[in-house]
Amino acid sequence: MLVRTKERGIYRRGKRYVVRARIHGVEHKFAARSMEEAKKIKLAAAVAPEQLRAEREAGSTRRAPLLNDYVETWLRRYRGRTDRGIRESTKHEYRRDLELHVLPSLGRKRLDEITPVHIRQVVDDLLSGDPPLSPASVRNAIAPLKALFASAVEWGHLQSNPAREVRLPGTQRGTKPKTLTEAQLKRLMRALPPEGRLLVEFLSVTGVRAGEAFGLCWHHVDLHNLRASIECRRRGKEIGPPKSASSHREVRLSPKLAKHLAQARKRRGAALADFVFVTPGGFPIDHHNFMARVFRPAATAAGVPWAGLHALRHTCATRLLRNDVSAEKVALLLGHSSPGFTVRVYGHLGS
């Protein structure tokens, strides 16, 4: 975010400065490490604009690394945009999204060679891919690239952030969350192997977030009283607290689900400290491997290729509300911050 200074045309961004100057009617931005340097750039833009632009572009070309190389530098130094910092699991997700969706197209380009047109092409390719990504997934894929360029500007490695000029696909206002019908859910369950079937049943019955299920251990589960405590979530190899204070909660188990959980635990001889949802080899399920190797093939076979794990959460919420469970109760079960949020997401069910 640019903050005005007392000097016209000079702005502050973090610990650095940005000079905005018009050259032949086109606005250019120049990074500076100090106010003194910024004033010199401002003067040069007024008296010798072409020379300034040529010198800055030449200097930038010599310094700019390949995006492939810069990703590691950025992930090592990046501390997030807030005082809370950034989790290592989030950095892991950023690296994965960049390697999977961005670097194949842009990795061998230098930072200062990448334009909004290049990024727009990546967005279009992701939206029209096989399979296509949803608008939300595209926004998640481009978010770390945008943050990387913002850091490059802040650290003086770039003059401007090309990703800021790219309009990302949005979710249309009033769009209803996608849910599975009971028939679709049954087809999906039949297409899954046993370990995937138990996880999908748990998600669709309880409505918990995927990370909350992956972090669930047997000592969190009370099969006798048909409940489970959500006390943590697992993202990659990192185990941390749930998403928010309201996410610490108890969820209800159906008798059928409790029976299936008891059978799975007995079959494995699981200890209380063990994760509930594991691979056939006994290892904790990795979210992305599970999606690629188990869930998506099963969803395609079941005729619901668009479905993801979050659709199971929506399916649970929809079922509860259609059975006249109050928004207040549903908000508690899902770990929403307020019943108002639940109503905003699922209010169409009351119409």
Whole-number pLDDT of residue 251: 94
E strands present in the chain: 3-4, 10-13, 16-23, 26-32, 221-222, 227-230, 233-235, 238-240, 249-252
Reference 223, options 194, 275, 259, 271; nearest CA is 259
Q: How many residues does the chain have?
A: 351
| pLDDT at residue 258 in the model | 96
pLDDT for 84 equals 62
Rounded to the nearest 5°, which phi and psi values hold at 292?
A: -70, -40
Local confidence pLDDT in tens for the 351 residues of the chain? 788 898 989 998 888 888 888 877 778 888 888 888 888 888 878 777 777 777 666 654 455 788 999 999 899 888 876 656 787 878 888 998 999 999 999 999 989 889 999 999 999 999 887 777 878 888 989 999 999 999 988 887 888 899 988 988 875 555 567 889 999 999 999 999 988 999 999 999 999 999 999 999 999 999 999 999 999 988 777 787 887 788 889 999 999 999 999 999 999 887 777 999 999 888 899 888 899 899 999 999 999 988 889 899 999 998 998 888 888 898 888 888 788 878 777 765 544
Q: Quote the tokens at residue 114.
A: 């990448």
What's the confidence (pLDDT) of residue 128?
Answer: 85
Other Cβ atoms less than 10 A from the Cβ of 326: the count is: 12
Model confidence pTM above 0.75: no
pLDDT value of position 83: 58
Contacts of 270 (CB under 8 A, 6+ apart): 218, 264, 276
What is the rounded distance in angstroms from the CA atom of residue 289 to the CA atom of residue 321? 32
CA-based nearest residue to 203, from 193, 190, 216:
216
Say what the pLDDT of residue 82 is: 62
pLDDT at 129: 79
